[in-house]
Structure 1
Amino acid sequence: MRVRLSLLMVVFGLAGCDVTIPNGLFACGQPSDCPAGYFCWSSDSRCYDSKEPPCEPKTCEELIAEFASIGIPIECGSLPDSCDGAVQCGDCPPGTECGANGQNFECGCAENTCASFEGGAQCGSIPIRCGGAGGQETISCGDCFGDYVCVDNRCVCPSGATCDSGCPDGEPIYPCTKNECSPPGGLPDGCGGVSHCPPCANGEECVLTNELRYDCIGDCTCEAEGVECGTATICGSNKLCGTCAGNGFPAGYRCEAGRCVCEDQFEPNDSFDTFSLVCGDGVGFNCNQEVWSMEFPATLHSSNDVDYYALRVLHSSTPIIAQVSNSLSEHVLYMTYLCPDGREGMIDCSASTDSIDDIKFCVAEGNTVGILRRCDDDASSLTATLLVGVGSNELRNDCNPYRLNVFATYQEEVPVSF
């Protein structure tokens, strides 16, 4: 931190000459890292002479104009507002719905299917909303089994009757209530036979989707191209394929190259042998000073997942803290320090200690862990290694995002007790 201290001395020494500290000059991890009157912005971890402005969500008009500039028409739907939220844009005219027939963010007429009509039609005929193909006005959803009769597209047993489904192996399952279509061989009906759902129309194909359901998928759609999110060029035109949350993925999934994924950019870093280097040796932030800070998002993707990180830092006497935020789960944090010569340099710990592969770690159940460090006198100005692990006591879902902030600061500013 000698560079920063000397620079501060020059700046404050010239205060009488109305010299202003440039915004963004100093890195920070907390407010106390900044000069008096300056604020630590979380967006880039730099010091500024004003409070960080709140993120201003974009309006529908702004978002629609942005997408239109790259050739993506937007008529309706939920769009990312650039502030980790979403905004609902546009309503469709009566008789149409948003995203009909796989055309995301466009209004259209969605054909009825046996699977979509009134929660799933088991039998009888249903109307085709958009005119159908070849002049058809209805499609058939099949017949009931045994003594059951079709009432309002449901197979029911008449009052006072004792009905036999005619299934020797159990009850019928009416597969067309879950599947829009069926493969050429049909789908098992639960009674030893098969059911054939109505064929797809308008050139669509019957495809087994990721949800293990047969759907009619048209060409030139995000689904047909296997794109789950983001933007893509489909059939020569730009298309918006939505967000992971908007397309039904649980919290924590993010869009990467058109796929909704849980793993973060540091994978694989799930074992003690696969630490991910996030600072030093030309990687990431500058940790080669007495006081430094770095923050980044990551994800835990299973209950037994532990993410391991390595930082190459300037050896100093300043304490080091790691904090986890923006997470719904309860965490377990691990931290240790290796001197430039490879020996253990952790001399105190804010929690309990435990050994992993014969190396002593500070282990804290919670969102904060801190250590004090000390090496030989001749280790000053040399590079040491900090190891940090993030695990979970209780994973709230199958993909848990979090933000990890690791920083070195002065003793009086440490937010933990030793």
Structure 2
Amino acid sequence: MRDLDPSVSSPPNARDAVRALRPSQIREVANAGFGVADVLPFWFGESDRVTPAFIRDAASAALTAGATFYTHNLGIAPLRAALADYVSDLHGATTSDHIAVTSAGVNALMLAAQLVVGAGDRVVAVTPLWPNLVEIPKILGAHVETVALDYGKHGWQLDLDKLLAALTPDTRMLLVNSPNNPTGWVMSRDEQSAVLAHCRRHGIWIVADEVYERLYYADTTPDTSGTASRTAPSFLDLAARDERVICVNSFSKAWLMTGWRLGWIVAPTDLMDDLGKLVEYNTSCAPSFVQQAGIVAVQQGERFTQELVRDLRSSRDHLVRALSDVPGVDVKAPHGAMYLFFSMPGASRSLELCKAMVREVGLGVAPGSAFGPQGEGFVRWCYACDTARLDAGVERLKRFLAQHGAAR
């Protein structure tokens, strides 16, 4: 066979759609912290606490018992049943036939996109948004358009008319993340109802990323049962289980299992056979012993989750008060998730700002530009830690602003 002339052959590049993907600016800031002593990292979306012992113990017991083999593509039956009970308790009747277990929430998002989106399809996403959601459809050759939340005196809010206008009949899929990363915005029940009705009329798929649904701080009166709402409004509260709605969730947030890489999908039964194929060709299955730990999390973890939410709400309020006293900072308390997304001097070039804060004062927060052009002008601070650590971070922020003449 004749060798190709290296002077005329094309370079060994990935395909164009992959090369065009945005690199993670959060990771870029974190990389800037390597070698910097005593960095306080608030840039990643996870707690500084380890997974609860009762979940870790369940995984250890499963490993000891030999749970190291392949499982069903859609997950082991006991976990699917436990998740069906869990979802039913929060959002109404759901069966195991509507549940698929995945290797993390982000894997679930990729699988959902692979199910319904192809090259040339039009996708609409509500932003600012965790970049994975915007970039995943692009890997598949889809075209993504965005509808930005508005920021004002009441924090981040949705212009519903603007979103509905963007959801034209040629739209294949809507991506909504609520509670939202990075803003903490929560889509209201009325907004969900209007969007669902509109998407039904036009046959638009809704993929709802609801991984933060339990991290919800409703500043409202308790419901009729006498207890505060345990979850943010969900499309599962409104949609039938066999219509064009796919809800994605994860064990990472409500049970502090970020490193375990376990998630799930609630979807129409008609999708399940094809979803099983996609799982096979992506990961085959989630690890057996991790799934066993997941059963214990959903069946025994409710008290832990409710305590976690109380702690996070306290940390949120503490950090809002502290940042509100910093000249030049504009911050509002969000209703969900684990982040403050706020403006401050220098945030119009947020990536450059965040790198400088890491280098100069050892403060690590995420640049708003990491979440798309609509996030520029803001920074994201994860408050899932103790208040003493938050206070130390605020003092470093004040020092940085003083050094740059931006504080009194």
Measured against the shorter chain, the TM-score band is under 0.3
Give TM-score, length-normalised by structure 2. 0.22
> By percentage of residues, which structure has more strand?
1
Considering fraction of residues, name the structure with more helix: 2
